[in-house]
Amino acid sequence: MKAHNYIIIIILIGVVFSQCRTGKTGLKHYDNESKIILRNDHVQLKFYHFSDDSTSLFLKIKNSELLASRKTNSKELTTSISGKIFLSDSKGDRTIDTVLFKANGRTSSDESYFYFYSINFPLKDLNFYNYRLILKDENRATQYAISGTINKTSELIRENFLLLQRENTYPNFNLLINSKSSYSLTSERLDLTQTELWFRPANGGLPPPPYSTSKEDLPEISQFEILTIPVGKKELILNDFPLGDILLKKDSIGLSLLVRPNKYPALTSISEMIYPLRYISARKEFERLNTNSDLRSGLERFWLDCGESQERAKELMAAFYDRVQLANLNFSSYKSGWKTDRGMIFIVFGAPTELNTAKASQTWVYGDKNDLGSVRFTFKKITNGFSDNHYELKRNSIYKSEWAKKVSAWRNGRIYN
């Protein structure tokens, strides 16, 4: 390889590893109530049910999103927010409650985030809720909002667990564990001694395309092996797990904790960057990429061919891998988020124009919902023994032409959103 080509490779790959972040801020002005707002590394939240009738909200907000100040004679940066949580029934037809709160944030050890602890509010058991969270930066008088769902319908759901890395005082905001680290998994509502713990090496294939007549198969319990480690009634200690999937199981219900590399949900290796390209590459082309003796140069050539210039290739790579990261944050179930049906559609099509959520389904709309040319994808929530966050796409052959258009756009240097 010529020296100047090698320099191009270093530049482009470096851009992805250093800038694989969403270009849009996590806190967005709430202009359209039906528009999807995805969690990203700028703002994350977690609901935790600590009793049958009460729930806590934890917030993690990047410091660039908030105006901070120092109190007199103090070196610590602090910030203040106020908020409202509007709770409605699963159909969104009836407002159940409105929660008002104020909270002060403090920085984490790396001083890149502010953490807001234990914003408590009443929430009754055995219900599925829609919420709209309005946040206001008290130091800047700006207002933002995020919407989503809260599940309080059964025992083995993520909202019933608090996962903490042992050296931290703030919780993990997803059921994601860094390999070779120590964690505490606690639950106030579930007797953990009544559960089983299983493990399998990292697995999970790619889903069929949206126009396929086949659908993805769920895992088999035979792929897992049962673990015999001490389990307390309210706490489970997880130490130094290899990469793979931990399954917490009770009867026929299960919940997966994903053990991934330390930088996950971001990508940490060239091989990890190649795998998602299967969505926008032909089978034989992908096989050549994946078996290339020089994976880095093959990856670089792929994106240079798409962008036709270094600058455009950088933009394409940043956008594509940012979507992979967001898919991992939002859609991880019993496997990494980018490998799920929702992850596949999000990576190729981008965020939908509108998101309609029901108790057991989501409908994503691309384009004006009243336009005959708009595209709709319906995802049905599948009850299974491995995850409470698994949705299956309702596939249809009518998607084939639209899928081909979006893949062609990527290959010709265009990004659809």
Percent of the chain with pLDDT over 70: 88
Q: In angstroms, rounded to a whole number, what is the distance separating the alpha carbons of residues 100 and 413?
A: 46
Q: In angstroms, rounded to a whole number, what is the distance separating the alpha carbons of residues 273 and 177?
A: 20
Per residue in 266-284, pLDDT (tens digit) is 887 899 999 999 999 999 9
Per residue in 329-373, pLDDT (tens digit) is 889 999 999 999 999 999 999 999 988 877 788 999 999 878 888
Q: In angstroms, rounded to a whole number, what is the distance separating the alpha carbons of residues 215 and 212?
A: 7
Q: In angstroms, rounded to a whole number, what is the distance separating the alpha carbons of residues 417 and 52?
A: 40
pLDDT for res 28: 38
Q: In angstroms, rounded to a whole number, what is the distance separating the alpha carbons of residues 340 and 338?
A: 6
pLDDT for res 56: 93
Highest mean pLDDT among 16-20, 120-124, 243-247: 243-247
Q: Which of 362, 301, 351, 299 is nearest to 323 (CA)?
A: 351
Per residue in 199-209, pLDDT (tens digit) is 999 777 899 99
pLDDT for res 41: 61
Tokens coding 7: 């320099």
Q: What is the mean pLDDT of residues 48-58?
A: 92
Q: In angstroms, rounded to a whole number, what is the distance separating the alpha carbons of residues 131 and 412?
A: 39
pTM, full prediction: 0.84
Residue 293 to residues 2, 289, 299: CA-CA distances in angstroms?
A: 17, 9, 11
Q: In angstroms, rounded to a whole number, what is the distance separating the alpha carbons of residues 195 and 190?
A: 9
Q: In angstroms, rounded to a whole number, what is the distance separating the alpha carbons of residues 388 and 391?
A: 9
Non-local (6+) Cβ contacts of 292 within 8 A are 298
The answer to whether the CB of 56 falls within 8 A of the CB of 118 is yes
Higher pLDDT, 150 or 30: 150
Q: In angstroms, rounded to a whole number, what is the distance separating the alpha carbons of residues 324 and 410?
A: 14
Q: What is the mean pLDDT of residues 27-43?
A: 45
Q: Quick one: pLDDT band at residue 173, thresholds 50, 70, 90?
A: confident
Q: What is the mean pLDDT of residues 200-219?
A: 88
Q: In angstroms, rounded to a whole number, what is the distance separating the alpha carbons of residues 106 and 88?
A: 30
Q: What is the mean pLDDT of residues 13-27?
A: 42
Cβ-count burial 252-284 (b if 16+ within 10 Å, e if not): ebbbbbbbbbeebbbbeebebbbbbbbbbbeee
Q: In angstroms, rounded to a whole number, what is the distance separating the alpha carbons of residues 194 and 207?
A: 33
The answer to whether the CB of 186 falls within 8 A of the CB of 234 is yes
Q: What is the mean pLDDT of residues 42-64?
A: 87
